[in-house]
A and B are shown apart, each in its own frame.
Chain A
Amino acid sequence: MSALDKPRRSLKRQSGQRLRVDPLVCDGIGQCAMAASSIIHLDRWGYPVIPAGELSPADKGRATRAVNACPRQALWLEATD
């Protein structure tokens, strides 16, 4: 790992990402919505409604916080292509 790696990484085309939830694993604990309330809201039974489609660069950080907040590890980020 040298400093030369850095410029190469910034030139690489950023691929789009979307947030996914596995409904079998999700127990409706709601930590994701607390960690990222601007992109995730809970339905009236307490289960998260996840934004469909590609995340904006600003939302990517919020989505990552939601992924890390889930005690069931039911959320993950996935490449859109």
Chain B
Amino acid sequence: MEIPKEEYILRCTSACAGCSASLALRYVLKACGPDIALVVPACCTSVIQGIYPNTAFNVPVYNIAFASAAACASGMIAGFRKQKKNTKVVVFAGDGGTVDIGIQAMSGAFERGTDFLYICYDNEAYGNTGMQRSGATPLGAATTTTPAGKNEWKKDLDRIVEAHNPPYLATACSAYPKDLFNKVKKALSIKGPKFIHILAPCPPGWRYPTEKSVEIGKLAVKSGVWVLYEREYGKLTINGPSKAAIIKPSPLSDYIKMQGRFKTAEAEQISKMEQRILANQNRLALEEKGIC
């Protein structure tokens, strides 16, 4: 599919240099086209738009409180459909607004079958307030509230959403923008609640140089930390880069060593992570083959 040249973000947002969430948003908006309404709860994206009365976003945006993004989208959809408008409603929420604070509104909207697309871009902490631990922070990662590294696992959001049986669920990564674009296009062609989970590496938060954003995203997929897959009406398809990673993964240490946030991670935690990556890949590979 050809990616349109049209940009829906005017130069320039105030996102940090090398921000992969704004890279992801560029492609999400390209895939959505002009007839959308974006719902943004408190997250980096609500900060980078600019200061009233100016905004860098050339699409309608509704900024809403942390807990209510999906509820707001449900109401908007009801309003648009009543007016016989086909405007698409897309929620663009961070991991804090999805995994922790926004989860009940999101669960409700999925249960009601709201015809919308929920996108969670995941930088694995509360980025815009200065990198506090969130439910999406992985084991061993240091944040400002877990300076010695987090002791708990990352919450498996995709399996929580999967339990709602949505017609479309996908994972994506900002380092694969074409793949992300195609997934958003496909999601919007389906009626009902759709979910896309994007891994978005964050240079200041993950403590790596700004130019490595895309490289780290690719390493996350190649090492199996992040698995790219789609679930259409429950049927699982693992995407190309992750299929290659299951057959021949690159070492997890390549991914870990590039980031300052894993400096305090213990060897035991890293070997636990390796085991969990393997178990996760096996589970998905077996499911795709139809074995379990």
A and B part of one assembly: no
B residues touching A (Cβ–Cβ < 8 Å)? none
A residues touching B (Cβ–Cβ < 8 Å)? none
